[in-house]
Structure 1
């Protein structure tokens, strides 16, 4: 931003005066907590930069922007190198085929390394990297970066060798020494393969001193593909962030892919849960040269803020929906806690405040136990919990305490189960027939819903189309599966509608919505479930002479070492550990290694629990108990 002329002084995360870390908490803690948007111009290219957090507790902020990116710059420290979070991010960028440049930052800091970090990148992230220059003066304020050019034979040879792996024409020319590949063609092919996320150029530099930043800027404009969109085409955009304005109104951050949205337009937006609403846009701001400025419209290729969309949510499609993508790119939170106001009279205000925070971060999964009047939040870590506590104090003037953090388990079906309730036959009290089958699915596949019924059995006088009927039932199925046989969310299964019936004109959408949970829980009981706990993959770097003391501690914490390697006086251990034991290991590591041990951990998978199975208190209307469920339904009606 400084090099582009948007700001006059370079900010510092440590000093709390960066442009995109505008929250008081971000400045206080020296970390990015919320994603922020700035826009600047490089030549004839407009760059919309979305700055996201690097701390693993705030991975949800990264997840929300992935579907709106044309490219990414993955920042790695020249001192700390590739960390667990870096590997998670890179795997996701590769899976989504998002063109990615790598910037190795902090070459001016003591302990900075270039060759070691580059080797670290190729071994742990991807072998398809192209160093775009050389770093010099590492560890000092004079550290710099010199880009390679056509005259650097080793660079052009290495680039040709890498590009030839994905291009037969370059391979043929590369093999034929008599006709070397022209440098211009290599650069064009580098841009093409970078744009297809096949290779990843690597730059070195320092954000503080500005070393290497000009080369990175050139790389962004030359190597990352520019977004394409017709401002005169049909309106299509995605909401990737929602916040509240000064008066408490919702503000939607939208990346426009096509068309133009103007003030006073009536805008349709669509949610993954089947919502299809229309609201009038009352105000527009567009990010331009460092800030959001009032405009009459926001067009394709731009990022804007929209007012007036009262029920908008993160992930909503504005106008014409784009191709559906994965609902979640990263693992869900694995921790849960109960939030309690210090003043009992503030329970209502606390619920309102947490509901607003859940708008900005849906993954905190606000739940309320109506019987005990308790509020539950899902978390990624202790830092996130501390930030929520401070936010409630500073922004909402509510002081809260948290009960002990517990682990969030999940349930997986272990067999196939079916159930049906027929219209007009006891004990079915609703004017509908619903039959469902539950089948286990592959780990990581999530919940899938399908129809195996004839179209004529669907009440199309109630629903506009079969797709609307399917979406409505799927929403009810997913909501019901948030709490399985033992209260945990059910994952990795396929639910199929096998029977459907109605009586015209009495049957309504409510009949299907209220009957489905009873049938689904009956089918799930017949299928059976197993409770699984989250498992983290850990990486330890410790002095070799401390391994003997660490091994029994790992055993007591139910950690399972998978690989061990010793290099001189240092030893690395990789393995699996239950999520609820990670904090204990981190606390003990310092004493066990005389302060020299380093630990990284990241969620990896779920495993069935051995021993006593934990049960989570239900906060729904308990469709496992027909009597209790119908009592709640009748009261609500």
Structure 2
């Protein structure tokens, strides 16, 4: 039986395909149509009716939006496609981020009516940065106001000029709209194809300039198109309708022909990544993992960061369903049971065999909002923390924080819709009613100079049996926190160095103003300890011996003193916006933007409307959304997405601390030593 399974793996290719889009572009409907065309389902589900395959959560069916990523499988001839439907709403971008780490290729869905939207640009920018081969599908060509040619021009102008239309649409905007693929020898098509491909291929460029027809054959151009698409250099564009099915056969043919199959040796070392964790009916953890190398069998022990786990069951995806199997091989996506301590983002097995782009930590901006969650019934406080801890397993970016002094629980958010979903989930799945405070903006602190501090063992005012010296330096934006050793690694036990490194990163979650400190280098400049001491009868004497706890307790004091000397500046998140409004209201719109601290660029006139691009503080986006209908007679349209962090002018906002406050030495030492004595 095992040999038969391996033989099947050799005969069939696997492609892990993501469907991505701005909300309401029709990607879930497209997924349904693809499954129906492949014979996986007999009837196409409806998003509005809540009967789709991938939107299985009750909340998804009620709202008609995708909240959690879902995996389904279908076959295109000898290619098994594991299709991952992802959320389109920007509040659930964290789900998309995790899926990107397992994809071989993607289909970016764009509406032929709304065209390129804010989330479309965010997604394509990320797909291109990660080098994920991507096809574009312009959906809803049968809808009133559909304009495929306008959208094609938007794709080239606002996403990338490396788009190649593979056909045209007859009667767009009508139910009878039909996709008509270009013939392989259509001279206008081959000329456009040769022009785009030649920009990225010197041999083709030479043939194009010299008019060498022997090289620029339809077959040669198609082969070059496949090669450049698989290398994410160009993006073929298809048109169609998920509702009527037109254009779907051309898209499925392109998925098979133009996107790369999953690579990896089944007999290699085990290596994979976990992109989703859910709880089974009995509360057990179920990990969704993409395997890049090797084979994982039931009862295998699999290495995880800092621990290992025994796999008790395996399911792989076949013809729309997860099917129990004895093993999963390289290239496949599987559900794994038995890994009780697994977390999203964990690498299974040997990380050296996971391609670099599949291990990147963050592709999108972090959440920019925070709110306090309070149970309506005080007796539910403990249950609420347990429930939110479980939700944080499935979405680590909600960044659960508990203030022990105020007994408050905070979570990070991308938007107000996410808040509503958390509230409904807590009520439906855990039976806990909650209220939220008004959302506040999440800022960050950035180091502005260099600062250093050292405290020596057995020297006042240091009450701990450890010597720790740290220097803090600024680092470029987006590089995160880096810990370096400026002392010999053999100067003391490795566990003590590890305790300092881990505590540095934990402590920087709250800087001088209470915000997370990002983008800095922390160097350990001094170290020292007292070796293990015993009395005559070999009884360990803690009062004379250093432990990792001494280093964990001293490090926050040293780090905060170094940080004070370096100085930090609070930065707030800024959104890039695009506002479309009637030209005659432009004069009243500009002062309103100024009051919201928005910085608009010069407007662009398009007929009777103005298009205004600019940046606005994230904290003011909601206010602009609320004011826009009144300012524009209900005709204004706003798109916005996170763009960057900018220094706060004036008095920097502070965030209440939830730690033992190492900025106040007396208070900190009292709390830490009291906790140590109690422990």
TM-score norm. by structure 2 comes to 0.90
Matches of 1:366 and 1:256, distance apart in 2: 29
Deviation at 1:15, TM superposition (A): 2.5
The answer on 1:227 being equivalent to 2:262 is yes
The answer on 1:30 being equivalent to 2:60 is no
Partner of 1:487: 514
Partner of 1:190: 225
Residue in structure 1 matching 2:337, options 283, 295, 307: 307
Listed one character per residue, the Cα deviations across residues 420-444 of structure 1 (whole Å, up to 9, x for unaligned) are 1222222223332221111112222
Partner of 2:208: 174
Deviation at 1:227, TM superposition (A): 1.0
Residue in structure 2 matching 1:584, options 623, 628, 647: 623
Residue in structure 2 matching 1:247, options 282, 286, 293: 282
Q: Is the 8 A contact 1:205 1:212 kept in 2?
A: yes
Q: Secondary structure at the match of 1:68?
A: coil
Deviation at 1:504, TM superposition (A): 2.6
Matches of 1:323 and 1:143, distance apart in 2: 42
Matches of 1:354 and 1:568, distance apart in 2: 50
Listed one character per residue, the Cα deviations across residues 556-576 of structure 1 (whole Å, up to 9, x for unaligned) are 111111231112211011111
Moved over 4 A (4+): none
Matches of 1:554 and 1:188, distance apart in 2: 51
Matches of 2:502 and 2:601, distance apart in 1: 40
Matches of 1:282 and 1:574, distance apart in 2: 54
What are the within-5 Å matches in structure 2 for residues 16-165 of structure 1? Answer: 16-165=50-199
The answer on 1:558 being equivalent to 2:597 is yes
What are the within-5 Å matches in structure 2 for residues 281-320 of structure 1? Answer: 281-320=311-350
Q: Is the 8 A contact 1:284 1:294 kept in 2?
A: yes
Partner of 1:545: 584
The answer on 1:614 being equivalent to 2:653 is yes
Q: Structure 1 residues 473 and 255 mapped into 2: Cα distance closer, same or farther (>3 Å)?
A: farther
Matches of 1:635 and 1:292, distance apart in 2: 52
Deviation at 1:17, TM superposition (A): 1.5
What are the within-5 Å matches in structure 2 for residues 305-344 of structure 1? Answer: 305-321=335-351, 322=354, 325-344=359-378
Deviation at 1:306, TM superposition (A): 0.9
Q: Secondary structure at the match of 1:635?
A: helix
Matches of 1:178 and 1:87, distance apart in 2: 37
Matches of 1:547 and 1:101, distance apart in 2: 38
Listed one character per residue, the Cα deviations across residues 47-102 of structure 1 (whole Å, up to 9, x for unaligned) are 11111111100000001111111111111111100001111111111111111111
- Structure 2: any 5+ residue segments left out of the alignment? 1-34, 533-544
Deviation at 1:452, TM superposition (A): 1.9
Matches of 1:516 and 1:224, distance apart in 2: 50
Matches of 1:141 and 1:518, distance apart in 2: 69
Residue in structure 2 matching 1:280, options 304, 307, 310: 310
The answer on 1:444 being equivalent to 2:486 is no
Matches of 1:178 and 1:596, distance apart in 2: 53
Q: How many residues align?
A: 625
Q: Secondary structure at the match of 1:5?
A: coil
Partner of 2:527: 500
Deviation at 1:636, TM superposition (A): 3.0
Q: Secondary structure at the match of 1:575?
A: strand
Which has the higher mean CA deviation after the structures are superposed, 141-150 or 29-38? 141-150
Which has the higher mean CA deviation after the structures are superposed, 367-376 or 13-22? 13-22
Q: Structure 1 residues 160 and 433 mapped into 2: Cα distance closer, same or farther (>3 Å)?
A: same
The answer on 1:626 being equivalent to 2:653 is no
Q: Is the 8 A contact 2:185 2:218 kept in 1?
A: no
Partner of 1:466: none
Matches of 2:117 and 2:48, distance apart in 1: 20
Q: Secondary structure at the match of 1:2?
A: helix
Deviation at 1:497, TM superposition (A): 1.6
Q: Is the 8 A contact 1:459 1:502 kept in 2?
A: no
Matches of 1:347 and 1:237, distance apart in 2: 37
Residue in structure 2 matching 1:431, options 450, 456, 465: 465
Matches of 1:131 and 1:397, distance apart in 2: 51
Residue in structure 1 matching 2:297, options 262, 268, 289: 262
Listed one character per residue, the Cα deviations across residues 538-580 of structure 1 (whole Å, up to 9, x for unaligned) are 1100000011111111111111112311122110111111111
The answer on 1:216 being equivalent to 2:243 is no
Q: Is the 8 A contact 2:155 2:161 kept in 1?
A: yes
Matches of 2:501 and 2:60, distance apart in 1: 39
Cα root mean square deviation, aligned? 1.4
Q: Is the 8 A contact 1:10 1:208 kept in 2?
A: no
Q: Secondary structure at the match of 1:142?
A: coil
Listed one character per residue, the Cα deviations across residues 114-163 of structure 1 (whole Å, up to 9, x for unaligned) are 11000000001000011111112212222121222222111111111111
- Structure 1: any 5+ residue segments left out of the alignment? 271-275, 464-468
The answer on 1:572 being equivalent to 2:636 is no
Q: Secondary structure at the match of 1:72?
A: strand
Matches of 1:473 and 1:156, distance apart in 2: 62
Which has the higher mean CA deviation after the structures are superposed, 293-302 or 420-429? 420-429
Q: Is the 8 A contact 2:447 2:520 kept in 1?
A: yes
Deviation at 1:192, TM superposition (A): 0.9
Deviation at 1:32, TM superposition (A): 0.5
Matches of 1:50 and 1:373, distance apart in 2: 39
Deviation at 1:178, TM superposition (A): 4.4
TM-score norm. by structure 1 comes to 0.96
Matches of 2:210 and 2:43, distance apart in 1: 51
Which has the higher mean CA deviation after the structures are superposed, 320-329 or 588-597? 320-329
